[in-house]
A = this chain, B = another copy of it.
Amino acid sequence: MLTHSEENHLKCIYHLSNKSNGAINTNAIAKSLETKAASVTDMVQKLATKGLASYLKYKGVRLTTKGEKEALKVVRKHRLWEVFLVKELGYNWDQVHDIAEQLEHIKSSTLIDKLDTFLEYPKFDPHGDPIPDANGVIASKPTTTLNILKPGDTCTVICAKDSSSDLLLFLDKVHISLGSKLEVIDYFEFDGSYSVKVDNGSAITLSTKVAENIFIDKL
Answer yes or no: A89 CB below 8 A from chain B CBs: yes
B98 touches A111 (CB 8 A): no
Q: Which residue of B lies closest to A108 (CB)?
A: B99
Answer yes or no: A166 CB below 8 A from chain B CBs: no
B91 touches A114 (CB 8 A): yes
Answer yes or no: A118 CB below 8 A from chain B CBs: yes
CA distance A90 to B85 in the complex (A): 18
A106 contacts which of B89, B102, B108, B117 (Cβ < 8 Å)?
B102
Which residues of the partner chain B approach A91 to less than 8 Å between Cβ atoms?
A: 110, 114
Answer yes or no: A149 CB below 8 A from chain B CBs: no
Q: Is chain A's binding surface mostly helix, strand, loop or mixed? A: helix
Minimum CB–CB distance from A119 to chain B (whole Å) comes to 10
Residues from 84 to 104 in A contacting B, C-beta threshold 8 Å: 85, 88-91, 98-99, 102-103
Copies of this chain, tallied across the complex: 2
CA distance A117 to B102 in the complex (A): 21
Answer yes or no: A173 CB below 8 A from chain B CBs: no
Answer yes or no: A211 CB below 8 A from chain B CBs: no
A88 contacts which of B103, B106, B107, B118 (Cβ < 8 Å)?
B118
B102 touches A114 (CB 8 A): no
Q: Which residue of B lies closest to A102 (CB)?
A: B106
Which residues of the partner chain B approach A102 to less than 8 Å between Cβ atoms?
A: 106-108
B107 touches A89 (CB 8 A): no
Known contacts: A103-B106, A106-B103. The answer to whether A114 contacts B98 by CB under 8 A is: no
Answer yes or no: A37 CB below 8 A from chain B CBs: no
Since A90-B114, A99-B106 are in contact, a sample of 10 more A-B pairs with Cβ atoms closer than 8 Å, ordered by chain A residue number, is A88-B118, A89-B115, A89-B117, A89-B118, A90-B117, A91-B110, A99-B108, A99-B111, A102-B107, A103-B103
